[in-house]
Structure 1
Amino acid sequence: MGFEEIADRVWVARQDWFDVNIVAVGGSRGLLVVDTHASAAAARAVVEQVRRLGRGDVVGLVNTHEHFDHTFGNGTFRAEYGAIPVHAHEHAAAATRAAGERIKAAYAADPDDPHRAEVLATEIVPAEVTFSSALAVDLGDRVVELFHPGRGHTAGDLVARVPDADVLLAGDLVEESGPPAYGPDSHPLDWPLALDLVLGLTGPDSVVVPGHGAVVDREFVVDQRDAVGVVAETIRDLATRGVPLDQALGSAEWPFPSADLSDAVRRGYEQLPLSQRRLPLV
C-alpha cells in the first residue's frame, strides 16, 4: 500500500503485514520516516513507496519502540539513503538487538512461516540517536517532537508529535486494528498513565496514528485509555484480594478478550510491591 496524506506533509502507509503503519513527515530538509517495517525485504517495498511519493529523500528515521515490526527495516533505509540518523528512546535502542534476536529465534523454530527467510536474513540495526524524556528533530521549516510518555506497551515507547499539523504518532501505545498488545515486556500498570500524557499532547481536532490500524481521533484514545485503565485496576484488585495468579483471568470481567491478557496479568502481579498483595497469590 502507498502513502496517503492525512495532514499537511504527513503521510501514512498502512502495510498488509501486521497492519503496521509507517509514517513519512516532510520538511524543507527532506523526509523523516517513523518506523521501518518487519524485515529488510519488506522495507525495500516501503522505500519504493517513498520514491513514488516524490517528496524528497529520507533524512532520518524514528523507531517508536524496539519490536522488530517497527525496526527491522532500519538497515534497508540506511543502505538506500546513507548514514541517516535513527532516533529512539534510550531503552528501546538498548533493547533492539536482544528483542530482534528473540524474534529471529522464534521464526527459526517455525519452518512453515512464509516470512521466515526474510526475517532471518535481516540485519538488526539499533538506533544511535537516543533520549530519555524529549527530543526535537529539525526538518528545516518544521520540527517533529519526540516524547517518552512512560512505560506501557514496552519500557521504551515514544510518541512523535507534528505540532503545526496537529498530528500525533502514537506507536503501539494505541492500536486500532486489535486490542492493545500486552506482551511479556509490557507494563500494564503504567500504561494508563502513559496514555494520560499522550492525551495531554492532543487537542479536540488532533489526528492520531496508531501503531497498527486506521487513523483515529482523540476520542478513540480516550476510550482506549479508559479500557487500559480498567485492566490495570482489575489486576490491582485481584492481587490485593489475594486471588492466585493462575485464577486471575477467570476471576474478573475484562474489557479485552481474556486470551490476550495472560502476560498483562502476570506482568501486573510482578509490578505490584509486596505491600499491596495479599496471600495466597500463586
Structure 2
Amino acid sequence: MTEFTEVAERVWVARYEWFDVNVTLVGGDRGLLAVDTHASALAARGVLDDVRRLGAGEVVGVVNTHEHFDHTFGNGMFRSAYGQIPIHAHETAAARTLEAAERIKGLYRDDPSDPHRDEVLETEVVVADTTFSSAVSLDLGDRAVELVHPGRGHTGGDLVVRVPDVDVLLAGDLVEESAAPGFGGDCYPLEWPLALDIVLGLTTSSTVVVPGHGAPVTRDFVEEQRNAIGIVAETIRDLATRGVPVDQALEVGDWPYLREVLGHAVRRGYEQLPRSQKRLPLI
C-alpha cells in the first residue's frame, strides 16, 4: 500500500518503491487524469487499489510521459478498470512503445533471478492511442491540463504535464531526483539541456516540479540538473572536436556524474554530433 500525497490542490503523487517511480493524479470535475502507470500489470493493480483508497474519483484518462516500461506497462490495467479511456503520449513515444517493451522483456527473459521477471513478461503492452506533436490541452471540466513536448532528452518522445492553475509541472524522466539523469541507450544528451530550457520556461520560482523518480523538487533543482547535463553535452562536443576517440572519452573527460552512468550518453553524443563538429584522431 502506497499513499497518494497532495502536493497542490487536487494533484496527488504516489511514490512507489520499485524504481522509485512516481504516479500522479490530477483531479477535475470530470474525473482524474493519471500520469504514468508503473512497470507491470501486477504493479498497476496495486496502484489502482491506492487510487480507489484515495477516493477522489474515477480515472478518465492516462498520460505516458515517455515510452519506457516503468511508465507504461500499467496501461492495460487502467483500461481494464476504467474502460476505453484515452491514453495520451507524444507521437514518438507511442510509435516506440512496442519496440521498447520488447527490448525490456528480452532483458527480463534473460535474467531468471529477477524477482519481477514473471510479472514483466506476463504484462500485455497497451500503446497510447491519443497522440500529439508539439502541445495539447486536455479538458478536465473546471481545469485545463497542458501536455508539452519540450524536445528530445531522456528519450525522443518526452512530454511534460503542466497544471497551470496550481503551478505544478510533471516532468517525467527529463528530471530525476533519486538518481542521476537516465542516460539510456535511447537518450539525446546534446539536446537534453535545450529541452530543459523549455521546461524552465514553463516554471516559476514557486512551481512544484514532480520528477519521474523521487521527491518533488523546485525550479532551482531543475536548473542545477540542466546545467550539469549541459556540462555533459559540452564535454562530449569538446572531446569529439579535439579528436578524442569515443572509447577513450569517458576516461579523458571531466564529468559531473559518475562515469558508470555515462557510457550511453557519450556513445549517443558522438553518434549525434554532425560531421562538421568531429575531428579525426591524430595518429
Fold shared, TM-score > 0.5 on shorter chain: yes
**CA distances 1:17-52 after superposition (whole Å, capped 9, x unpaired):** 000000000000000000000000000000000001
Q: Which residue of 1 aligns with 2:173?
A: 172
Q: Which residue of 2 aligns with 1:114?
A: 115
Do 1:244 and 1:281's aligned partners in 2 also have CA atoms closer than 8 Å? no
Q: Would you say 1:250 and 2:217 are equivalent positions? A: no
**Which whole-Å CA distance do the structure 1 matches of 2:119 and 2:97 have between them?**
18
Q: Would you say 1:70 and 2:71 are equivalent positions? A: yes
Q: Which residue of 1 aligns with 2:212?
A: 211
Alignment-mate amino acid for residue 24 of structure 2: V
**Which whole-Å CA distance do the structure 2 matches of 1:22 and 1:221 have between them?**
19
Alignment-mate amino acid for residue 223 of structure 1: E
Q: Which residue of 2 aligns with 1:199?
A: 200
Alignment-mate amino acid for residue 78 of structure 1: R
Do 1:153 and 1:173's aligned partners in 2 also have CA atoms closer than 8 Å? yes
Q: Which residue of 2 aligns with 1:278?
A: 279
Q: Which residue of 1 aligns with 2:4?
A: 3
Q: Secondary structure at the match of 1:117?
A: helix
Q: Would you say 1:134 and 2:135 are equivalent positions? A: yes
Alignment-mate amino acid for residue 12 of structure 1: V
Q: Secondary structure at the match of 1:235?
A: helix
5+ residue gaps in structure 2? none
Aligned-residue offset at 1:280? 2.1
Aligned-residue offset at 1:250? 0.5
Do 1:239 and 1:281's aligned partners in 2 also have CA atoms closer than 8 Å? no
Aligned-residue offset at 1:187? 0.2
Q: Which residue of 2 aligns with 1:223?
A: 224
Q: Would you say 1:268 and 2:276 are equivalent positions? A: no
**Which whole-Å CA distance do the structure 2 matches of 1:81 and 1:246 have between them?**
49
The 4+ residue runs of structure 1 with deviation greater than 2 A are: none
Q: CA RMSD in A?
A: 0.9
Aligned-residue offset at 1:215? 0.5
Do 1:133 and 1:147's aligned partners in 2 also have CA atoms closer than 8 Å? yes
Alignment-mate amino acid for residue 222 of structure 1: E
**Which whole-Å CA distance do the structure 1 matches of 2:281 and 2:275 have between them?**
12
Cα 1:247–1:142 shift into 2, 3 Å: same
Aligned-residue offset at 1:117? 0.4
Aligned-residue offset at 1:281? 8.9
**Which whole-Å CA distance do the structure 1 matches of 2:90 and 2:253 have between them?**
35
Aligned identity (percent) is 70
Listed as ranges, the matches of 1:128-167 within 5 Å are: 128-167=129-168
Alignment-mate amino acid for residue 111 of structure 1: P
**Which whole-Å CA distance do the structure 2 matches of 1:160 and 1:70 have between them?**
14
Listed as ranges, the matches of 1:100-111 within 5 Å are: 100-111=101-112
**Which whole-Å CA distance do the structure 2 matches of 1:75 and 1:94 have between them?**
17
